[in-house]
A = this chain, B = another copy of it.
Amino acid sequence: MAEQLEVNEKTMQSVVHMAEDARVASLKLARADSNWKNRALEAVAVSLEKHAAIITEQNALDLEREHEAGMSPAMLDRLALNAHRVGELAGALRALIGLPDPVGEVMRGSTLPNGLRMQQVRVPLGVIGAIYEARPNVTVDIAGLAIKSGNAVLLRGGSAAEKTNQVIVRIIRDALYATGLPIDSVQSVDEFGREGANALMLATGNIDVLIPRGGRGLIQSVVQNSRVPVIETGEGNCHIFVDESADEKMAVEILLNAKTQRPGTCNTVETLLLAKGAKAAPAVLTALSRAGVTLHVDADTREILPEGVEAVDATEEDWSTEYGSLDLAVKTVAGLPDARRHIRTYSTGHSEAIITNDLINAETFVRDVDSSAVYVNASTRFTDGGQFGLGAEVGISTQKLHARGPMGLEQLTTSKWIVRGDGHTRS
């Protein structure tokens, strides 16, 4: 539940001042054409490459401190940058340069019967706040997406990556300066520590939207405490339902892909629902077990476990767990309506799939399952801005307002109506 956010007055004032500077910067950035913004992105990319040694040097200091503080090897790996990874950051920015600029798109337009000329035009949101953890690549990603979409951004990158982020933000601001865009388009509130994040969450009116990126704990804390509108991303308790008619080979391939290809991602399957009597069930369970997946099964599934396949008993908690590991909850259901009910109860609304050869089941599933992406005979792993052909993504929204599913540049914009008349008055 919500806690009381604590921020001392001086920090709050400082962050509000930064947000005001960001607002002024955003007004200039909103007017910059695509060529100009792309030149700035290229300048950042070049400068990152040029300063790779300094970046990795600072990163080593962060790594050393966090290693001593007992950070897990997986987290240390996310924090680590080497020359190759710095090159990838530059590459991501160059990919952004290639994407169309959403700003200025005329979304619709018409001339009304009274002669008023109407246009609904895409414009930047304004000032974005980003709160994330120990992943310096997010600093470059979010700053790049913000610049390209004409938004200013305030970053809170977490103390673990403090020195790395500091040098990266410096490089970005220098590149903005060199290309004539306002440097306050990208600012960091890291100097205020945890209070910086709290101040962002309280800066109603100064920050237009807050994007949390990180683990479930971080995201839920921001969603529950922020007074600034939040876009919730990335929580994925994804389901695959294998019905009676599912093709055995297809079911095996999709399940292996959805569970084992990259188990830590939010579009990985976490619960397998097997229709009672599904002919693909034994092969799927065997293949998953052989691939090293720990199956957490209900009583009905235990009864059909093939010889030599081991499993642990599922508890109620398993149905709502996003493992992020080679674990999979497995439940046998009576059929599609039962599967739908289970999904409705436990899903986070990210991605769900049905494996079937039954047309009515397929159509019913896509109609009645209410998630950001619903699949027929394909792996949930496809839910991703790049895979969907949307280009770079800010994250995958699991909420329904503003954006749902993979969010690209477009989702960092809003619209405004431009109405031109010749002295028109309303009668």
Contact = CB atoms under 8 A, between A and B. Distances in A.
Chain multiplicity (copies): 2
A137 interface: no
Given A27-B368, A31-B368, A370-B123, A401 B414 contact: yes
A222 to B, nearest CB: 13
Interface in A338-354: none
A367 interface: yes
Contact of A374 (B112, B388, B419): B419
Interface in A413-427: 414-426
Given A229-B399, A254-B425, A257-B425, A419 B378 contact: yes
Contacts of A419: 373-376, 378, 382
Chain A interface secondary structure, helix, strand, loop or mixed? mixed
A31 B340 CA distance: 15
Interface in A344-395: 362, 366-368, 370-379, 381-383, 387-389
A399 to B, nearest CB: 7
Interface of A: 2, 27, 30-31, 110, 112, 116, 118, 120, 123, 125-126, 208-209, 224, 227, 229, 231, 247, 249-250, 253-254, 256-258, 261, 362, 366-368, 370-379, 381-383, 387-389, 399-402, 404-405, 414-426
Nearest to A2: B227
Contacts of A247: 423
A416 B401 contact: no
5 contacts: A30-B370, A257-B425, A376-B421, A377-B420, A404-B414
Given A224-B227, A401-B402, A416 B257 contact: no
A414 B400 CA distance: 6
Contacts of A370: 27, 30, 123, 126, 416
Given A110-B389, A112-B389, A401-B209, A374 B416 contact: yes
A370 B30 CA distance: 10
